[in-house]
């Protein structure tokens, strides 16, 4: 891509010393966002990117237009019941964000649920477009309706950070109450007390680690909010939720390997949380109340979890009775409960779904997608006495579908199949699953969305996405935007590498801490497999990774840059060693169980230093590389990408310099809004098409 000369960041040697190791970081100065030279450099990088991509401007506009044409302009979600109302979101033509609405509940009959609101019947709970006010990084942080249905509390963010403002609206008058709480943590909905006046939320410490649970009474000053809970261990973060019954607030302190949960009745009475069981290193427990019992999902004695029951008023460990034993082929992931059934999220031989447990009989029924090879997710089913559990599913060629399963019979009923994108013809595409062989012989699944006539002679292109961290599963999903690549000869692939959770906890643990290298070698094996099988060649294969997947990108590129014609790294976690040595940064201490604490031991330091992408850039030819960062990103600070690109510029012997874009108005999630995000996607797709030679 011909353009002006790429900018070269100034080298300002900064001496670092840990254990008995001393080294110099030439670009450490880019961490100082108060230094005008930092922003100036990033602005120069943005200008260079635009200059480089200028010949692709018409293509970018065309991509935006065709992706926008696939958007279903007007759509309504399937309403769910809570109390006397049903709640739903509604998309409006030309608007980036949804309207959250409600109407009176009449029955659970699908025709009643799905019927449009009668004139004057719909209540707009909140218009997210009004709340966004045009801000590129606006994020809705979740909302909750008071038990009496009158008040709505929600959280919103406007700068891309993880700090949200909590607000409350009176749904009868439409008035926004003066109660306004700044700095609440993450996109986690607040919890109401039964008195309809008490709100619970979390606050963060100086590193944005959620550590305090607060109780606020409407009408009181925010500084008068009472602190209910404090988590002092810097490895642990706090989250809150209410049980479906509405009887209890659950406060969970968790690290990557350990959890401890406390409960507090939501009756509004004064009191302090009571811990279920004191934390024990490596043990993770989750709780749900069903009738007069607690049901507990625990990994005690079972790596993939098992299920217990105990009396509601006697939760001591000696009272636990096993209901479901551990099973190596089944990974239990979550637990929830209605009045008559317990719902256990799980993966069965890698397939996502959930079990319906009958507490009286102790029997289960397995529920998963009627369509093989896709994504399955629970949908809002907040009524404790409901007769069905909502869930959704999709595949790479089948759009999002909402269904419900009868809690007693396990019969599945389709409620709504999302209308396919305008002009979408599934016969033009095919989905394949293939397996790469890892260095230790393990078979690594790869899902592919291809054009029906995608060649197998290496002339086609592939965009290979990877993540492999935190036990998060990368299941296939439907993305109408990626059709713009597939229609031009570049298939889309998902590598289900270790470090993710596709096959339960062992799959995750095989790619973390001392085994982190496995994630990288798995991905390389997937890339080699796709080339060997003719899905692409080394010139027509593009890698992709975001956040922890950006760590994957950087580590893989240092090892095998020859395997790829291009790579995209989105908000990449690439300065791993420096970040994990700085406990003052957001999220660092909570990440020790994922990567290790390099300050604690020399062997951990050496291990992280051996794969940290920034520290292992060396003089060699790198493929075309597009790197994206957010100025307000608290999770992976902008400087990680900036330092990495600066160092790559100084060492890359390839013909195409890396390009960097920093979005000054957004954070970790990039631009929000269903239209606004298309510009960013089009930029990436144009880069891929050009770099792989498909123009």
* 3-class DSSP string for 272-304: CCEECCCCCCCCCEEEEEECCEEEEEECCCCCC
Q: Are 334 and 391 in contact (CB under 8 A)?
A: no
Task: Give tens-digit pLDDT for 634-658.
Answer: 999 999 999 999 999 999 999 999 9
Residue 112 lies in a domain: no
Over pLDDT 90: what percentage of the chain? Answer: 96
> Does 347 reside within a domain?
yes
What percent of the chain has pLDDT above 70? 99
Residue 3, pLDDT > 70, answer no
Round to whole Å and give the CA distance between 492 and 102. 38
Q: Give pLDDT tens digits for 578-612.
A: 999 999 998 899 999 999 999 999 999 999 999 99
Distance CA 76, CA 495 (A): 32
Residues 401 and 455 in one domain: no
Gap between the Cα atoms of 675 and 677, Å rounded? 6
Asked if residues 342 and 329 have their Cβ atoms less than 8 Å apart, the reply is no
pLDDT of residue 390: 97
Examine the domain organization and report whether 505 and 594 are in the same domain. yes
Which of 371, 390, 419 delimits the end of a domain? 419
- 85 within 8 A of 104, measured Cβ to Cβ: yes
Count of domains forming the chain: 2
What value does the mean pLDDT take over residues 568-586?
Answer: 97
Residue pair 28/11 in contact (Cβ under 8 Å)? The answer is no
| Contact between residue 490 and residue 688 where contact means Cβ atoms under 8 Å apart | yes
667 shares a domain with 598: yes
Question: Does residue 665 share a domain with residue 557?
Answer: yes
Helix residue ranges, H only, 543-637: 548-559, 576-580, 592-595, 602-611
What CATH number is attached to the domain comprising 470?
A: 3.40.50.1820
Question: Phi then psi for 598, rounded to 5 degrees?
Answer: -65, -20
Half-sphere exposure of 92 (CA within 13 A, CB side): 12
Assess whether pLDDT exceeds 50 at residue 59: yes
Q: How far apart are CA 476 and CA 82, in angstroms?
A: 31
Residue numbers of the domain that contains 306: 284-419
Which of 361, 391, 419 delimits the end of a domain? Answer: 419
Cβ neighbours, 10 Å, residue 204: 20
Both 398 and 479 in one domain: the answer is no
Q: How many CB atoms lie within 10 A of CB 472?
A: 15
Residue 448 and residue 508 in one domain: yes
Question: pLDDT digit string (tens) for 378-407?
Answer: 999 999 999 999 999 999 999 999 999 999
Catalytic residue selected from 484, 547, 612, 691: 547
Query: Over the stretch 339-357, which tens digit does the pLDDT of each residue have?
Result: 999 999 999 999 999 999 9
CB 535 within 8 A of CB 527: no
Q: Decide if 667 is inside a domain.
A: yes
DSSP codes joined into one string, 197-237:
SEEEEEEE-TT--EEEEEEEETTS-GGGPEEEEE---TT-E
Mark whether 493 and 582 lie in a shared domain: yes
Residue 454 appears among annotated catalytic residues = no
* Three-class secondary structure of residue 110 per DSSP: helix
371 and 301 in a single domain? The answer is yes
Please tell me the predicted confidence (pLDDT) of residue 271: 83
Instruction: Tell me: do 318 and 435 sit in the same domain.
Output: no
pLDDT band at 530 (very low <50, low <70, confident <90, very high): very high
Q: Which of 97, 633, 661, 691 is catalytic?
A: 633
Please determine, for residue 410, whether its predicted confidence score (pLDDT) is greater than 80: yes
Instruction: Please name which of 396, 466, 458 lies closest in space to residue 431, comparing C-alpha atoms.
Output: 396
Which of 366, 393, 419 delimits the end of a domain? Answer: 419
pLDDT for residue 268: 65
Q: Are 380 and 409 in a shared domain?
A: yes
Is residue 547 among the annotated active site residues?
yes
560, part of any domain: yes
* pLDDT 10s digits, 483-509: 999 999 999 999 999 999 999 999 999
Nearest to 95 by CA among 120, 115, 124: 124
**Bigger pLDDT: 373 or 487?**
487
CATH number of the CATH domain containing 297: 2.130.10.120
Question: Which SS3 state, helix, strand or coil, does residue 135 take?
Answer: coil
pLDDT in the model for residue 404: 97
- Indicate the DSSP class of residue 345: E
In a domain, 402, yes or no: yes
pLDDT classification of 267: cutoffs 50, 70, 90: confident
- What is the DSSP secondary structure assignment for residue 637, as one 8-state letter? -
Confidence of residue 613 (pLDDT cuts 50, 70, 90): very high
Shared domain for 395 and 444, answered yes or no, is: no
Set 212, 668, 672, 691: catalytic member: 668
116: in domain: no
Q: Does the pLDDT value for residue 2 go beyond 90? A: no
Buried-exposed string 525-559: b where 16+ CB fall within 10 A, e elsewhere: bbbbbbbeeebbbbbbbbbbbbbbbbbbbbbbbbb
- Mean of the per-residue pLDDT values of the chain: 96
Q: Known catalytic residue: 159?
A: no
Residue 510 lies in a domain: yes
> What's the gap between Cα 300 and its chain centre?
27
Q: Are residues 518 and 647 in the same domain?
A: yes
Please give the average per-residue pLDDT across 537-557, as a whole number.
98
The predicted pLDDT at position 587 comes to 84
Asked, for residue 278, whether it belongs to a domain, the answer is no
């Amino acid at each position: 891509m011909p353009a002006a000369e790429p900018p070269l960041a100034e080298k300002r040697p900064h001496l670092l010393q840990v254990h008995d190791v001393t080294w110099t970081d030439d670009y450490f100065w880019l961490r100082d966002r108060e230094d005008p030279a930092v922003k100036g450099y990033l602005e120069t990088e943005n200008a260079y990117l635009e200059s480089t991509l200028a010949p692709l401007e018409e293509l970018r506009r065309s991509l935006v237009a065709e992706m926008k044409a696939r958007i279903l302009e007007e759509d309504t979600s399937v309403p769910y019941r809570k109390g006397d109302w049903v709640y739903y979101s509604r998309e409006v033509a030309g608007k980036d964000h949804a309207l959250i609405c409600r109407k009176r509940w009449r029955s659970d009959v699908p025709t009643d649920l799905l019927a449009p609101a009668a004139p004057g019947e719909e209540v707009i709970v909140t218009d997210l477009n009004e709340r966004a006010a045009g801000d590129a990084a606006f994020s809705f942080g979740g909302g909750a309706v008071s038990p009496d249905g009158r008040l709505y509390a929600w959280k919103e963010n406007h700068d891309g950070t993880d700090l949200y403002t909590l607000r409350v609206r009176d749904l009868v008058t439409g008035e926004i109450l003066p109660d306004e709480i700044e700095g609440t943590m993450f996109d986690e909905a607040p919890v109401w007390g039964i008195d309809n006046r008490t709100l619970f939320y979390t606050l963060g410490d100086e590193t944005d680690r959620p550590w305090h649970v607060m109780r606020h009474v409407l009408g009181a000053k925010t500084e008068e909010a009472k602190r209910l809970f404090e988590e002092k261990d810097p490895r642990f973060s706090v989250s809150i939720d209410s049980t479906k019954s509405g009887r209890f607030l659950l406060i969970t302190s968790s690290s990557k390997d350990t959890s401890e949960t406390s409960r507090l009745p939501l009756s509004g009475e004064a009191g302090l949380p009571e811990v279920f069981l004191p934390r024990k290193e490596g043990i993770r427990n989750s709780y749900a109340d069903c009738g007069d019992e607690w049901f507990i999902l625990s990994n005690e004695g079972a790596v993939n979890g098992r299920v217990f029951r105990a009396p509601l008023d006697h939760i001591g460990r000696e009272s636990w009775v096993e209901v479901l034993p551990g099973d190596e082929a089944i990974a239990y992931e979550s637990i929830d409960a209605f009045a008559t059934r317990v719902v256990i999220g799980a993966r069965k031989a890698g397939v996502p779904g959930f079990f319906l447990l009958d507490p009286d009989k102790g029997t289960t029924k397995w529920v998963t997608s009627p369509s093989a090879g896709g994504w399955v997710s629970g949908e809002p089913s907040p009524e404790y006495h409901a007769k069905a559990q909502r869930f959704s599913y999709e595949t790479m060629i089948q759009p999002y579908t909402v269904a419900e399963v009868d809690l007693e019979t396990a019969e599945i009923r389709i409620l709504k199949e999302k209308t396919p994108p305008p002009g979408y013809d599934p016969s033009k595409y095919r989905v394949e699953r293939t397996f790469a062989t890892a260095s230790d012989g393990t078979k690594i699944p790869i899902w592919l969305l291809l054009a029906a006539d995608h060649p197998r002679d290496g002339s086609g292109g592939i965009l290979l996405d990877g993540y492999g961290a935190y036990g998060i599963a990368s299941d296939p999903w439907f993305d109408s935007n990626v059709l713009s690549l597939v229609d031009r000869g570049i298939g889309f692939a998902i590598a289900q590498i270790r470090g993710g959770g596709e096959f339960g906890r062992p799959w995750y643990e095989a790619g973390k801490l001392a085994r982190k290298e496995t994630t990288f070698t798995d991905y390389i094996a997937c890339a080699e497999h796709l080339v060997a099988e003719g899905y692409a060649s080394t010139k027509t294969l593009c890698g992709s990774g975001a956040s922890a997947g950006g760590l994957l990108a950087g580590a893989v590129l240092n090892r095998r840059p020859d395997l790829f014609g291009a790579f995209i790294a989105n908000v990449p976690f690439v300065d791993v060693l420096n970040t994990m040595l700085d406990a003052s940064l957001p999220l660092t201490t909570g990440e020790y169980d994922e990567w290790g604490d390099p300050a604690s031991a020399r062997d951990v330091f050496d291990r992280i230093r051996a794969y940290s992408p920034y520290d292992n850039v060396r003089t060699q030819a790198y493929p075309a590389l597009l790197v994206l960062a957010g100025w307000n990103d608290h999770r992976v600070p902008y400087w990680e990408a900036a330092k990495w690109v600066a160092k790559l510029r100084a060492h890359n012997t390839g013909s195409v310099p890396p390009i960097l874009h920093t979005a000054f108005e957004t954070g970790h999630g990039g631009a929000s809004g269903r239209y606004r995000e298309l510009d960013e996607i089009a930029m990436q797709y144009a880069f891929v098409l050009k770099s792989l030679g498909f123009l």
